[in-house]
Amino acid sequence: MCFAALPAWALSLISDEETEVFLHQTLKPIFQASGTTFNPRNIYIVNDKALNAFVADGNNMFVTVGTLMNADSQNEISGVLAHETGHIEGGHLLRHKIQAREVQRVSLASMLLGGAAGIAAGRPDISIAAILGSQGSAMSNMLSYQVSEERSADEAAIKLLRRINQSPAGMLNFMKKIQRNNTLQGIEETSYCRTHPVTSERIAFLEKATKDSNAPTRGTEESTFARVKAKIYAYIEEPKNTFIRYPESDVSLPARYARTIAYFKQMKMPQATALVDGLIQEEPQNPYFYELKGQMAMETGNVREAVNIYQKALSLRPNSALFKLNLAQAMLENSPNPAEQQQIVDMLNQVLIYNPDSYAWILLSRAYGLQQNAAGYNYAAAEYSLQMHDIKLAKQQAEQALKSNPSSSLRLKLDDLMMRIKDEEKEMNKII
């Protein structure tokens, strides 16, 4: 559990609404207990198997898939998030912004030289950007300041867990996992080259706190956690590993959920379809089972069926930005008529209000293209290019949009976009 003042685009992020909702439900009471402003948009899932979580500017919380896959309970996740919230309470981010400035400057320059990576083709659930490099000496100096801060974050976490009536037992268990993981990887915990103080000291502190606590060691959403853990594991790991962790003898819902995904990844569609249909029959109001079935239909070329299934998922969760994104993509692949084209444009603009996802800009550009709206087509393309840090291309596309007789509302958006492009140009010139 560490923290970093890094931009979100420097990470490989996974968007899964079911998991995000679980994390929101877990984090919200912790933030409320600390008096920290809670925004459900500010929590992210990082595609990294390491046991880690961190906070960044704007109270943004990042949790790795490794943490989700290796935790044994919601109580453990609560402990991790409480620790990171302790960093916010302690003002550690503000202190580290100056220390991180040199690291970010060198890293951003390296990224610009290497070029930004694109997003995964056809996958609105995964957005990949360049992984930042770092300068060893600058990073070492930065980490050397974290020893006392990690200790104070532990102390703050215990107080927060007490306020929400949760035991520190989960935090203790997770810390032991970090210790075992460090031992297996041969990590030497010296004074400078580590992100945590000596874990044996932290474990001793947490053991005492756990012994002194009578609070529950289980969260209120343990069943939900078991599902999202199985789901994440099945998507991240190879199917053979999923079948080992969730064998056919395990008939629990999380196990069947995981095996559905594993069979789907193997393209064993009869098995996957039978399992997902069983899940839907068991819980017909669960939108995430329809989401999975819609993805199965989409990726096997059954686009019309995917549209119908995604529409059902969206009807069960009408405010879901991710479901609207999925439905818009399916409709675009299904030769939409003019009325459907406008529905796609409307849905994607709603998605981008909630989450300016780079993939949504690509789909919106396509939708405007079908409508023969040159201004909208180039505007959406420019927004995407800017997110990919291709400032030159973004400027060219925005200027082309301005020449294409944009509507008054789109003109306002383009004016804002041009200001952001100019700001990016200024920042890049500072680095160069």
| Ordered DSSP codes for 350-375 | HHHHH---HHHHHHHHHHHHHTT-HH
pLDDT at 312 over 60: yes
Measured distance CA(104)–CA(96) in Å, rounded: 12
Question: What's the pLDDT tens digit per position in 11-25?
Answer: 688 889 999 999 999
pLDDT value of position 107: 38
174-192 pLDDT, tens digit each: 989 888 877 766 555 443 3
User: Residue 134: what pLDDT?
Assistant: 34
Give mean pLDDT, residues 324-338. Answer: 97
* Average pLDDT estimate for 51-62: 84
pLDDT at 6: 39
pLDDT reported for residue 115: 30
Say whether pLDDT at 54 is over 50.
yes
At 186 the pLDDT is 59
The torsion angles phi and psi of 53, rounded to 5 degrees, stand at -155, 155
Is pLDDT at 306 greater than 60 in this prediction?
yes
Task: Please say whether the structural domain 247-431 has been given the CATH code 3.40.50.11400.
Answer: no
Helix (H/G/I), strand (E/B), else coil: 56:
strand
Per cent of the chain over pLDDT 70 is 80
Hey, where are the domains in the chain? 8-211, 247-431
Which residue shows structure tokens 């930005």? 321
pLDDT tops 50 at residue 370: yes
State the CB neighbour count (10 A cutoff) for residue 58: 12
**How high is the mean pLDDT of the chain?**
84
> Residue 71, by phi and psi: left (phi above 0), alpha (psi -120 to 50) or beta?
beta
The lowest-confidence range among 88-92, 140-144, 346-350 is 140-144
For position 131, what pLDDT does the model report?
29
Rounded Cα–Cα distance for residues 25 and 39 (Å): 11
| Whole-structure pTM value | 0.82
Taking 60 as the threshold, does the pLDDT of residue 265 lie above it? yes
Q: What is the pLDDT of residue 180?
A: 83
* Dist. CA 168–CA 158, nearest whole Å: 6
For 128, the 3-state DSSP assignment is: coil
pLDDT in tens, 131-148: 233 334 444 444 444 667
Average pLDDT over residues 357-375: 95
CA 360 to chain centre: 16
Share above pLDDT 90 across residues of the chain, in percent, rounded to a whole number: 66
What does the pLDDT read at residue 431?
A: 65
- Name the band, by pLDDT with cuts 50, 70 and 90, for residue 352: very high
Are 64 and 50 within 8 A, CB to CB? yes
Q: What is the mean pLDDT of residues 291-319?
A: 97
Q: Are 300 and 309 in contact (CB under 8 A)?
A: no
Q: What is the pLDDT of residues 92-145, one digit of tens each?
A: 554 444 444 444 443 333 333 333 332 233 333 333 232 233 334 444 444 444
Q: Tell me: the pLDDT tens digits for 230-258?
A: 999 999 999 999 999 999 999 999 999 99
Q: What is the pLDDT of residue 167?
A: 96
Calculate mean pLDDT across residues 186-210. Answer: 67
